[in-house]
Amino acid sequence: MVVIVSDSILEGLSYLNNINNIIAVYEPLLDSKKSSYGFSVKFLNNCFRKEFNSEYLIDSNVDVISTSLQNSLLDCLVKFQEGCNTITTNANINDRLYKVNFCKLGDQYILCTFFRNEDALANEQIFLKGRDFIEKALEIILIVGKNGKIIYGNKKAIETYGYSFDELVSLDIFALRNEDKREFTQKQLNKALNNGIQFKTYHYKKDGSKFPVEVRSIYSNEKSKNMVVSIIKDISDIEEISKVARMFSTSLDIIDDPFIIFTKEMNISHWSNGAEIKFGFKKEEIIGKNMSELLPKDILDESQMIVDMLSNGNIIKDYETIRLDKHGKIVNLLISASPIYDIDGIFSGVVAIYKDISEKKELIKKLRDNEERWRYALEGGKFGVWDRDINSNEVFYYNIWENILGYDEDEINNSHEEFKSRIHKDDLEYVMNKINKHFLGEEYVVEFRMKCKDNSYKWIMSRGKVINWTDSGKPLRMVGTAEDISDRKLIELELKEKNKQLESLKQEADNANKAKSIFLANMSHEIRTPMNGILATIQLLQLECVNEYQNKYIKILKESANIMLSVINNLLDISKIESGTFKLNNDPFNLKETINNIYNNLLITGNLKGLEVSYYLDSNIDFEILGDELILKEILTNLISNAVKFTDEGYISFRIKMISADDNSEKIEFRIKDSGIGIDEDFKGKIFNHFSQGDSSTRKKYIGTGLGLAISKQFASLMNGDICFESIAGKGSTFIFTCEFKKILTQTMK
């Protein structure tokens, strides 16, 4: 039973003297810190006085009872502060067991009802003596018989249901619930008669409208156990609030950001889908647990400060802090939170929404790291940046005036004119033209000289770009870099001077080489004339009658003269090629006939050494061609002679095939393969050099000048071809010679 009293508590309790229940009223005794150290008795009804033989508020029996209830009364104070209004416990008083009901009475008193049995109500005079209290109650109070008949309804009941008093007491509880079947409601009524009951349901008014109610029914004492007193609370507002809250909660679940509701003890009562995704906790894992589950230990004090601010009515907006997810990972957040109040305006919790700023924090960190990195790079090098507002002509400079040009910060202003005044007069027009052309779309990269504080000039390379334009296409802002390239310019100047010197030396070397070639050509002609005389004399001597001994010397003389003539011819060819005066003949000849002659000579020389000689000629070749037959013979003779010379046993293969052709020309490949001594690895890179031979000793087995391959490769190049080789020392070599010829038929048709 709830008793509501005014501040003058004793004035409204005198009627309790006529009630059969044992009743006492206590007041807590508080010290200066508002802590209770005991209780004083403020009221004892007649039943109490009779039960415990206590005529006065202060006597030994009253003190014994107060001492027995001391701990229970202290516990009540704690429970009342937590929101409870009624507490029941058992107490042993004078060796008798009592069931004691503690009820909060006003703001400072505790009403205690003692029961020797399970009776919850006194006799029927509760109604008579408490009628005024019931009538003035703010909630609906009905007294219902055991068969459901309404015996009494207070003023609030008449106002709420819309019936007159006579109409209301003519109804039963089943009519208020608009039920055809009475079994369920009758079971609830029976339970209320036995032990009391509390539940929620719907009641119907006279006009047929229904509304949600919360019913708390208590039974009477033994003398009137056929009645139930029901205290009925209209919870329409609460249901509407709950409905709105459910809708609000469902709506918030579509928000990605975490949304959490806390009780006043900061226990979690609502956990949105966004919170589940962000922190990793399922609803069933986290609801009911304290906010500290999400807090790192080092911010507990900070968090308590925020809670204190909220409980005092403050609103928190975008407060930056951190929380822990399920796995202990730190999440950077912005919190916006607001206090929640109950219907009486008392602080009852906190609603908070969190915004994850982890990516933003990481980006800020990267930007700071990059900024620091660039700052170190700029300060440590000959590099600067600039930012120009084209409308105001103001320019922000970093690391240019001070570190590159040597000026103090207060010596230079931020105007563009200041910048122009430091540019070398010979470079100013060029720089301004480059800027204007950039405004029209060209790239801005320019090198120019700028005046330093010590009046010297440094070379600067500047790069820039317009990054903001007006809607009409005019430039607004241009940013760029400036780099000190004075050292590079100095190196370029030195290199330019050295290149000039090298060019002069090259020209001198070319002139000397040309003079050498002319000298060799002239000398070759001068030597060839007497050599022809010598050869002619040798031929005349062979016609004379000479003995065998003399003929032997004539042959030696002839061979030596021919070798000498070959050397002279090679020197003459080299000098012509190097001086650029050598010209290939372009005469018609039959390639097949030329090749056959060369093959026949090979066959003879090869057979003389006991070598196997093979020969293949591609029938797809157009044999009527234009070219220098003599040079072709010289190249092939040189390659074949080398193959015979360096092969003492085995074979020599001579193969000719066409590798490409069109209407005007054809390209031919000549492949000479032998099983001779091969070429050493160390000598392969030198084989086409002038006067280069594999065996350079004075007593060598294979005689030669070392000019043949060098001249042959140069001839091949003049014929739009090349000479290459494959060789393994001790296993033989393959030389591949390619060249190009014009076709006679094509030329004739033209």
Distance CA(217)–CA(242), nearest Å, equals 24
Angstrom distance (rounded) from CA 91 to CA 52:
14
What phi and psi values does residue 456 have, to the nearest 5 degrees? -80, 170
249 sits in which H/E element: helix 236-252
Answer yes or no: is 1 within a domain: no
- Is residue 311 classed exposed, middle or buried when 0-12, 13-18 and 19+ CB atoms within 10 A define those classes? middle
From CA 331, how far away is CA 359, in angstroms rounded? 10
What average pLDDT does the segment 254-272 reach? 86
Q: How many residues does the chain have?
A: 750
CA distance 130 to 128: 6
Residues 259, 323, single domain; the answer is yes
Q: Which residues pair with 215 in a beta bridge?
A: 199, 232
β-bridge pairing 197-204 and 96-105: unpaired
Does 485 map to a domain? no
Residues 696 and 620 in one domain: yes
CATH for 68: 3.30.450.20
**What share of the chain has pLDDT > 90, as a percent?**
24
CA distance 627 to 586: 4
| pLDDT digit string, tens, across residues 132-149 | 566 666 788 888 888 888
Q: In angstroms, rounded to a whole number, what is the distance separating the alpha carbons of residues 72 and 92?
A: 12
Residues 265 and 161 grouped into a single domain? no
Categorise residue 472: left if φ over 0, alpha if ψ from -120 to 50, beta otherwise. Answer: alpha
Q: Would strands 197-204 and 210-219 be described as parallel, antiparallel, or unpaired? A: antiparallel
Residue 483 resides in a domain: no
DSSP state of 692: -
Which of 78, 97, 115 terminates a domain? The answer is 115
Of 179-183, 378-382, 452-456, 710-714, the range with the highest mean pLDDT is 452-456
* Domain assignment present for 482: no
Strand partners, 320: 334
Task: Tell me the two tokens of residue 703.
Answer: 């005689």
Same domain, 740 and 617: yes
Residue 556 predicted with pLDDT over 90: no
3-state secondary structure of 214: strand
pLDDT band at 626 (very low <50, low <70, confident <90, very high): very high
Q: What is the DSSP letter of 240?
A: H
Copy the structure tokens of residue 434: 């480059």
Residues 108 and 38 in one domain: yes
| Statement to judge: residues 726 and 608 lie in one domain | yes
Tens digit of pLDDT for each residue in 519-532?
666 666 666 677 77
pLDDT digits (tens, 9 = 90+) for 587-622: 999 999 999 988 988 888 888 889 999 999 999 999
Amino acid at 562: N
Determine the 3-state secondary structure of 364 from DSSP: helix
Q: Is the separation of the CB atoms in 222 and 20 below 8 Å?
A: no
In a domain, 484, yes or no: no
- What is the domain extent for residue 434? 363-476
Tokens linked to 371: 């900024």
Beta strands in 45-139 (DSSP E): 86-93, 96-105, 109-115
Claim to verify: residue 271 and residue 386 sit in the same structural domain: no
Q: Which of 521, 549, 576 is the last residue of a domain?
A: 576
How do residues 308-341 score in pLDDT, each as one tens digit? 999 888 999 999 999 999 999 999 999 999 998 8
CA 533-536-539 angle, 5° bins: 155
**CATH number of the domain to which 659 belongs:** 3.30.565.10
Stretch among 402-416, 621-635, 698-712 having the lowest mean pLDDT? 698-712
pLDDT at 477: 93
The single-letter DSSP state of residue 144 is E
Please tell me whether residue 611 adopts helix, strand or coil conformation: coil
Residues 521, 404 share a domain: no
Beta 444-451 vs 330-341: how paired, if at all? unpaired
Cα distance between residue 267 and residue 349, in whole Å = 9
Cβ proximity of 275 and 262 under 8 Å: no
Structural domain count of the chain: 6
Residue 280 shares a structural domain with residue 228: no
pLDDT at 249 over 70: no
Q: pLDDT tens, 686-707?
A: 787 754 555 544 334 544 444 5
Q: Which among 421, 402, 483, 487 is positioned nearest to 447, based on CA atoms?
A: 483
Nearest to 601 by CA among 561, 641, 564, 565: 641
> In a 10 Å sphere around its CB, with 0-12 CB exposed, 13-18 middle and 19+ buried, how is residue 487 labelled?
exposed
Per-residue pLDDT, averaged over 344-357, amounts to 87
Q: Are 399 and 379 in contact (CB under 8 A)?
A: yes
Residues 505 and 638 in one domain: no
Asked if residue 447 and residue 515 are part of one domain, the reply reads: no
- Nearest Cα residue to 599 out of 656, 648, 642: 656
Helices (H), 471-547: 486-543
Q: Give the Å distances, CA to CA, from 184 to 148, 175, 177, 257.
A: 12, 14, 11, 45
The whole-model pTM stands at 0.34
Gap between the Cα atoms of 164 and 161, Å rounded: 9
* Residue 442: band (very low, low, confident or very high) from pLDDT cuts 50, 70, 90: very high
The region, left, alpha or beta by phi > 0 then psi within -120 to 50, assigned to residue 148 is left
Q: What are the structure tokens assigned to 498, written together?
A: 């050295």
Q: Are strands 612-617 and 651-661 parallel, antiparallel or unpaired?
A: parallel
Alpha-carbon span 517 to 511, nearest angstrom = 10
Of residues 716, 717, 696, the one with CA closest to residue 705? 696
Interhelix angle 708-718/548-579, nearest 10 degrees:
40
What does the mean pLDDT of the chain come to?
81
Question: Does residue 745 sit in the same domain as residue 598?
Answer: yes
Q: Is residue 245 part of a domain?
A: yes
Helix, strand, or coil here: 34?
Answer: coil
Assigned domain for 92 exists: yes
At which of 210, 234, 258 does a domain end? 234
Q: Cα–Cα distance between 616 and 656 in angstroms, integer?
A: 6
Within 8 A by CB and 6+ apart from 705, the residues are 566, 567, 570, 691
Query: Residue 267, SS3?
Result: strand
- The torsion region of residue 537 among left (phi > 0), alpha (psi -120 to 50) and beta comes to alpha
Is residue 3 in some structural domain? Answer: no
Residues 6+ positions from 248 with CB-CB distance below 8 Å: none
Range with the poorest average pLDDT among 320-324, 500-504, 732-736: 500-504
How many other CB atoms sit within 10 Å of the CB of residue 145? 15
Contact 260, 271 (CB under 8 A): yes
CA distance 414 to 397: 8
Q: Write the pLDDT tens digit of every residue in 13-64.
A: 776 777 778 888 888 888 888 888 888 888 888 888 888 888 777 777 677 7
Burial of 427 (0-12, 13-18, 19+ CB in 10 A): middle
